[in-house]
Amino acid sequence: MYTLKNNVQLIGYLGSNPEIIQLKNGNKMAKMTIATHDTHKNNKGEVFQETQWHQVVAWSKKATVAEYYLTKGNKVCIEGKLSKRSYIDRDGIKRYYTEIICQKLLMLGHK
């Protein structure tokens, strides 16, 4: 049996320019939102497009690539792993946040 892995692959479009954060230790982080689209028909034959938004975080060299080469609307392929975090909001409510930690980044299309 194959080893089970936490692996995600997405092809989609950047919803905005990457947000670049320079950390005190010298590391660089890029936060991005990627939209993916699914098209389906209902029982009446009407076609609907459903858009899902995904939060992606890239580190180091991938963050530098995102900073210099990616802009809103670019088509990209992301491979990474799901990461789930929790935090307490201002009202004391525990919130959960799921994001994709980018391990591979491929720019699709051309400028």
User: pLDDT value at position 2?
Assistant: 67
Do residues 73 and 31 lie in contact, with contact meaning Cβ atoms separated by under 8 Å? no
Check whether 1 has a pLDDT greater than 70.
no
Q: What is the pTM of this model?
A: 0.81
User: pLDDT value at position 109?
Assistant: 74
> Please, what is the average pLDDT of the chain?
92
d(CA 76, CA 14): 7
**Choices 2.40.50.140, 3.60.20.40, 2.30.40.10, 3.40.50.150: CATH for 8-39+47-108:** 2.40.50.140
Query: Which whole number is the average pLDDT over 43-64?
Result: 92
What angle is formed at CA 55 by the lines to CA 74 and CA 46, rounded to 5 degrees? 70
d(CA 56, CA 95): 18
pLDDT tens, position by position, 54-107 = 999 999 999 999 999 999 999 999 999 999 999 999 999 999 989 999 999 999
For the chain, the three-class secondary structure string (H helix, E strand, C coil) is CCCCCCCEEEEEEECCCCEEEECCCCCEEEEEEEEEEEEEECCCCCEEEEEEEEEEEEEHHHHHHHHHHCCCCCEEEEEEEEEEEEEECCCCCEEEEEEEEEEEEEEECCC
User: pLDDT value at position 33?
Assistant: 96
Q: Where are the domains of the chain?
A: 8-39+47-108
